């Protein structure tokens, strides 16, 4: 199903299998070094040394089924934002294919926080008519003494950009499970309000 959805029209957002399980494409975006790949590997449950081909559907793509609020959902997580492609083709593609986005910055790096705002604007422009679920993720919350962006700044930014906010630590695995459950809930909220 994955390759098919990749090549097909990206506007058919949520892919459902015959069993009724639902697939959501979640895209990680953000500055280099903020912890996107570390978050992705926790999601995938890939130990450092393991051959990640076994678990990735394809390179930089991870799939996992979660039970959230008694209902299963399969997330296809894309961590390819930083792959170099001609004319930013990969990034343009990323902006189009997500059912939901995790915009990640590091709380120890103010520039990455500012970049997150830029990305939010870019995403809004790319998907103007859609109400796409987004979580602003302040990662590296374990590095308390290097903090450059306060929690309240993160929260305020999320309010301005009309998205959810969470601080995580991929290093000590704090709030990572909550992050992925949160994105499932955000997609469902929108799905449910469409059905009404
Ligand atoms: P990416 O470029 O966004 O994919 O970032 P990476 O996942 O490659 O992480 C960049 C560096 O930050 C690596 O050395 C990670 O080990 C480290 N890192 C990632 N997440 C955390 C975190 O939550 N806390 C700390 N202390 N380091 C982290
Ligand atoms: Mg990476």
- What pLDDT was estimated at residue 148? 98
State what percent of residues in the chain have pLDDT above 90: 71
State if residue 146 touches ligand 1 by the CB under 6 angstroms criterion: no
* Mean pLDDT value of segment 173-195: 93
What is the distance in A from the centroid of ligand 2 to the CA of 77?
13
Under the banding of pLDDT at 50, 70 and 90, the label for residue 93 is: very high
- What pLDDT was estimated at residue 1? 36
- Three-class secondary structure assignment of the chain: CHHHHHHCCCCCCCEECCCCCEEEEEEEEECCCCCHHHHHHHHHCCCCCCCHHHCEEECCEEEEEEEECCEEEEEEEECCCCCCCHHHHHHHHHHHHCCEEEEEEECCCHHHHHHHHHHHHHHHHHCCCCCCCEEEEEECCCCHHHCCCCHHHHHHHHHHCCCEEEECECCCCECHHHHHHHHHHHHHHHHHHHHC
Does the pLDDT value for residue 59 go beyond 90?
Answer: no
User: Which residues are within 5 Å of ligand 2 (an ion), measured at CB?
Assistant: 36-37
Under the banding of pLDDT at 50, 70 and 90, the label for residue 191 is: confident
- What pLDDT was estimated at residue 20? 60
- What pLDDT was estimated at residue 101? 98
What is the distance in A from the centroid of ligand 2 to the CA of 136?
17
């Amino acid at each position: 199903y994955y390759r098919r959805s990749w090549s097909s029209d990206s506007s058919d957002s949520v892919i459902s299998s015959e069993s009724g399980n639902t697939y959501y494409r979640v895209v990680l975006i953000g500055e280099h070094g903020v912890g996107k790949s570390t978050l992705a590997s926790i999601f995938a449950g890939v130990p450092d040394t393991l051959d990640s081909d076994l678990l990735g559907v394809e390179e930089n793509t991870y799939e996992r089924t979660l039970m959230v609020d008694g209902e299963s959902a399969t997330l296809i997580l894309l961590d390819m934002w930083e792959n170099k492609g001609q004319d930013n083709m990969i990034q343009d593609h990323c902006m189009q294919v997500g059912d939901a986005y995790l915009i990640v910055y590091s709380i120890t790096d103010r520039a990455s926080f500012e970049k997150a705002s830029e990305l939010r604007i870019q995403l809004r422009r790319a998907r103007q008519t859609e109400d796409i679920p987004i979580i602003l993720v302040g990662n590296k919350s374990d590095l308390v003494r290097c903090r450059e962006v306060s929690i309240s700044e993160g929260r305020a930014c999320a309010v301005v950009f009309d998205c959810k906010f969470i601080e995580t630590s991929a290093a000590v695995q704090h709030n990572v499970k909550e992050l992925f459950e949160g994105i499932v809930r955000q997609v469902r909220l929108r799905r449910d309000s469409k059905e009404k």
